[in-house]
Chain A
Amino acid sequence: MEIWLLILLMALVTFGIRYALYAKANAITLPAKLEQALKFSAPCVLTAIWVPAVLMPQGELALTPQNPYLIGAVIALGIALWKRNILLTIVVSMSCFFVYKHLILV
């Protein structure tokens, strides 16, 4: 039962964040300073999630070629910087990741 309460609260919090500004959309102008700082929010939060996910997939720092997440991420970064194309980044890096993890490392 507590899990359902959690799901409900998570739903309220999540929807609240997304809808808060839309609710009063015609009456709201954000302070310019806040808008400038918030611009950094998505890239920073996303990076704070994916960097540990690829550098420490088992919870400990793994900076070795034995870590397929690290190899996959380096390839993803390379393609993203080079081509700036999300589809290409995802498809190529995922393919490389799976080939490396399941065929090369095994």
Chain B
Amino acid sequence: MATYQNSAQVLKGLLDATVLLTLSKKDNYGFAIYQEITKQMQGDADLFRESTLYPLLHRLESKGFVDHYWKPGDRGTDRKYYRITKSGKTHLKERVEDWHKVVRVLKRTILAEEGVTK
């Protein structure tokens, strides 16, 4: 449980960028975004819970990084589609740069010493 919570904390910041990256490819609706992300995460998909997706999308929307529109879905009812905004694209670019930095630092520090901790 503790391991899950620790991983979730680390992933929280990553998920913002992951959702924005998914939407930067094309406009999409909640379930399809979830599927796309779990597919990308492969074996670690269980770390991304469905209950976190919608609060995350709504938070991104309130920050102006995404907006939405309604379009008829396969079932005939309207479906909510999200799309990335210009400020969302800028934010994504900044986050990706941040993550590159994190990876570089990790490689030079913790991951470089991996053999010692094993």
Chain A bound to chain B: no
Give B contacts to A, CB under 8 Å: none
Give A contacts to B, CB under 8 Å: none
